[in-house]
């Protein structure tokens, strides 16, 4: 029976190790310190809001390019995000005290955004792209929260995710993070400030790769095929590689501003939300993203 006792002890030790490794991580001390001395700017925060595409998931379903911009600022949730692991439903993140996040502090907002951890200490699923936002600067997070607090409250209840076992076990997300959550960029150090700005916008805020990069068996982005195109999560068609053949920086920047492709086709699907977001940014930001994408295509990224 001694072998059985040892086996049980080893099993318990293994479970304890897994439990420790998968525990939700709080913000690093340097980030907490930076947030503590921040001087938030809501006007700059609005720029971060649009660049990060927050309303693309959290505004009510059914909006299009003709919808009033004010409707995109009501973050009542309800968008359904299909995946190989089930359907995720974007929650209410309006400033409503009970239904939304109106009772949060800056540190709780930052912990959710940068670490994917709720105020209750639970893991968020990576359908919330903290996998990208982890690269945001503390100042941008503080500015974003300052703008967020100006947005309207909405009492719409959040919908539940539709996930089967084992994907409905949030603690397992801790193991996923251990394997797949990267603070570093997927691309090398850019050669100049414009491409650096474009990389930050695309890889830290706009999360372009979340749709345009294929995933491995665990659902993590395949960094070896960065922006190379991917199957559509809905199962219909394919998300294209970016930038496409024949697209120069001028064409990309114009597309992000107007929604027209170089051959005068019109943007559609979820990309129409992206264009609306990009239209709210200054021209130099769209040009920076375009420069970054051309740099990627030329093989320097």
**Mean pLDDT value across the chain:** 88
Instruction: Please indicate, yes or no, whether residues 171 and 274 belong to a single structural domain of this protein.
Output: no
Instruction: Considering only the C-alpha atoms of the chain, give the largest distance between any 2 of them, rounded to a whole number of Å.
Output: 76
Say if residue 11's pLDDT is above 70: no
Tell me: do 172 and 56 sit in the same domain. Answer: yes
Last residue of one domain, picked from the residues 150, 183, 216: 183
Q: How confident is the model at residue 12 (pLDDT cuts 50, 70, 90)?
A: very low
Domain assignment present for residue 18? The answer is: no
239 with 170, same domain?
A: no
| Range(s) of the domain holding residue 113 | 26-183
Q: 30 and 96 in one domain?
A: yes
Same domain as 243, residue 152 = no
Q: What's the average model confidence in pLDDT over 134-151?
A: 97
Domain stop point among 183, 201, 228: 183
Q: Both 163 and 193 in a single domain?
A: no
Residues 99 and 240 in one domain: no
**More confident site: 298 or 116:** 116
Domain annotation covers residue 166: yes
Residue 300 binned pLDDT confidence (cut-offs 50, 70, 90): low
Judge whether 100 lies within some domain.
Answer: yes
- How many independent structural domains does the chain possess? 2
pLDDT confidence tier of residue 82, bands split at 50, 70 and 90: confident
Question: Are 301 and 224 in the same domain?
Answer: yes
Q: What's the whole-number mean pLDDT along residues 44-66?
A: 93
Q: What is the pLDDT of residue 157?
A: 95
Residues 230 and 243: their CA atoms lie apart, in Å, by 13
For residues 195 and 175, membership in a common domain is answered with no
**Both 210 and 166 in a single domain?**
no
Whether residue 14 is contained in a domain is answered as: no
Asked if the model's pLDDT at residue 92 lies above 90, the reply is yes
Q: Give φ, ψ of 162 to 5 degrees.
A: -115, 85
Report DSSP state, residue 124: P
Residue 9 counted as domain residue = no
- Examine the domain organization and report whether 283 and 257 are in the same domain: yes
Q: Are residues 146 and 212 in the same domain?
A: no
Specify if 1 maps to a domain.
Answer: no
Out of 130, 162, 183, a domain closes at: 183
**Quick one: tokens of 94?**
């309006």
Alpha helices in the chain (DSSP H): 2-21, 29-36, 42-51, 54-58, 106-115, 130-133, 138-148, 171-180, 193-200, 209-212, 249-258, 271-279, 283-297
Backbone angles phi, psi at 48, to 5 degrees: -65, -40
Residue 281 falls within a domain, yes or no?
Answer: yes
- Does a structural domain hold residue 8? no
Residue 21's pLDDT is: 58
pLDDT digit string, tens, across residues 192-222: 999 999 999 999 999 999 999 999 988 899 9
């Amino acid at each position: 029976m001694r072998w059985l006792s040892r086996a049980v002890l080893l099993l318990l030790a293994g479970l304890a190790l897994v439990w420790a490794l998968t525990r939700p991580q709080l913000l690093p001390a340097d980030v907490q310190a930076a947030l503590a001395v921040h001087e938030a700017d809501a006007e700059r925060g609005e720029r971060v809001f649009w660049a990060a595409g927050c309303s693309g998931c959290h505004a009510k379903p059914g909006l299009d390019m003709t919808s009033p911009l004010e409707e995109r600022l009501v973050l009542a949730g309800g968008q359904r995000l299909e995946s190989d692991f089930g359907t995720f439903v974007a929650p209410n993140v309006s400033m409503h005290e009970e239904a939304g996040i109106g009772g949060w502090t800056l540190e709780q907002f930052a912990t959710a955004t940068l670490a994917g951890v709720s105020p209750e200490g639970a893991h968020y699923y990576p359908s919330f792209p903290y996998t990208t936002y982890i690269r945001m600067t503390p100042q941008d997070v503080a500015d974003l929260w300052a703008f967020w607090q100006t947005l309207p409250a909405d009492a719409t209840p959040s919908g539940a995710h539709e996930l089967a076992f084992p994907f409905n076990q949030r603690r397992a997300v801790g193991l996923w993070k251990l394997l797949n959550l990267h603070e570093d960029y997927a691309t090398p150090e850019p050669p100049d400030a414009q491409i650096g700005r474009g990389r930050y916008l695309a890889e830290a805020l706009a999360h372009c790769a979340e749709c345009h990069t294929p995933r491995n068996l665990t659902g993590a982005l395949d960094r070896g095929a960065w922006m190379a195109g991917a199957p559509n999560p809905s199962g219909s068609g394919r998300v294209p590689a970016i930038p496409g053949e024949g697209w120069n920086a001028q064409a990309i920047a114009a597309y992000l501003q107007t929604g027209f492709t170089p051959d005068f086709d019109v943007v559609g699907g979820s990309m129409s939300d992206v264009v609306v977001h990009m239209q709210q940014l200054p021209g130099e930001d769209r040009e920076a993203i375009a420069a970054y994408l051309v740099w990627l295509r030329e093989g320097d990224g």
